[in-house]
Amino acid sequence: MIDRQALRRDFEGLQAAIARRGGDVVAPGSAWAKVAELDARQRELKTESETQQAERNRASKAIGMKKGKGEDASAEIAAMGEVSRRVKELDALTKEAEAEFAAALLEIPNPLHDSVPAGDSEDDNVELRSWGTPRTDEVPAHWDIGTDLGILDFEAGATLAGSRFTVIKGAAARMERALMQFMLDLHADRHGYEEVWVPAIANTKTMTGTGQLPKFADDLYKLEGEDQYLIPTAEVPVTNLYQDKILDIADLPKRHCAYTPCFRREAGSAGRDERGIIRQHQFDKVELVHITTPERALTDLDELVSHAEAVLEALELPYRTVQLCTADIGFSSQLTFDLEVWLPSQNCYREISSCSSFGQFQGRRAGIRYRDENGKNQPAATLNGSGLAIGRTLVAILENYWQEDGSVRVPTVLQPYMGGMQVISN
């Protein structure tokens, strides 16, 4: 959520930062335009209310003076009654305007960091660095590799649940589990994250705190008859562990890693990645979350990105790191770096991790605060990133480690997690 005081203090600067996202984000009729109108309306109502209250106080004194002198105060009493009715009416209007203002505020995206490059589409994202040598020989798609080895069953997934669900079997199921354990061990033991195990269901307040609601309701699975949703990412429950809490600055940053299943309706993605397991309604992910201060947020983001990169390097998967442009960055993010892994069957890099700084945007929404050196409460800054998406990592391994006899080598670091298995074969 944007800073209300900044809205009043630097309206034009804030509008320019939001407008960089493009489209109609600040156009007439937008949430931004509505917020500006409602803020002005609240000021008008507050000014009138203060005027009426001052008039009521003046009338009250006049009544007291007349009564003290034994004079008739009926005119003043009638006038004060009218003023009191107007004050009550203004209070109701102010509360209504405040509720509308708060609702509109939730629809406004995070202002972008100055370093975000301008762009019209994902094609304008900026490559920062790459690692490893991409495989350029002819490699089958992961769905063919998995089907031939009998470890991916797309028909069973469709029968059990519908499209975009897959049954992962045998050695691939074990690799899925191995990846989860390897990633958590790496982040907890080497990178110093505290591991947490959190619910895969969250309520409306929790979803609102991290920005999934109200903006992305159509992409969520809601439990019928309940104020609960299946989580789209562990970011939601892990960040909200500190919902409505005040932390001491000496205890920051808080850093957590968590495995969860994730659920997304993939609304609007018809025709995209319909084959295979790149874009599923249910998938597994290890998430990294930082709760920190605004001053160190960008330094922490670089560190978080390096932790996600370390997973790909340990697995010896070629990847590149890109900075998202103004047209491709998420609603809640102020700055995002994506890691894209090489998929030889597609002859391109595909996203496997998105690492973002949200500034104080989520801190304000979720009521996550810290007490600074002066004892003043401030909204905390939050960061998160995938470390990594497990299904997409499995895809990358199947393709990058595929051998011409149809088998798939197991990455060295995963072999201890797979009982010493070195090759997946028929």
Of 247, 218, 178, nearest to 413 (Cα)?
A: 178
354 tagged catalytic:
yes
What residue numbers does the annotated binding site for L-serine cover? 233-235, 264, 287, 384, 386
Catalytic-role residue among 279, 296, 350, 371: 279
Catalytic-role residue among 55, 351, 371, 409: 351
Rounded Cα distance between 258 and 287, Å, is: 5
Q: Which residues contact residue 138 at a Cβ distance below 8 angstroms, ignoring those fewer than 6 apart?
A: none
End-to-end CA, the chain: 53
Catalytic-role residue among 264, 320, 365, 369: 264
On whether the CB atoms of residues 387 and 257 are closer than 8 A, the answer is yes
Of 357, 307, 318, nearest to 184 (Cα)?
A: 307
On whether the CB atoms of residues 324 and 385 are closer than 8 A, the answer is no
Q: Which two tokens stand for residue 127?
A: 């490559």
Catalytic-role residue among 333, 357, 392, 399: 392
279 tagged catalytic:
yes
Print burial letters for 352-382: b (CB count within 10 Å at least 16), e (below 16): bbbbbbbbbbbbbbbbbbbeeeeeeebbbbb
163 tagged catalytic:
no
What residue numbers does the annotated binding site cover? 233-235, 264-266, 287, 351-354, 384, 386
20 tagged catalytic:
no
Of 206, 227, 207, nearest to 219 (Cα)?
A: 207
What residue numbers does the annotated binding site for ATP cover? 264-266, 351-354
392 tagged catalytic:
yes
* Residue found by looking up tokens 């009715």 in the block: 85
| Active site positions, annotated | 264, 279, 351, 354, 392
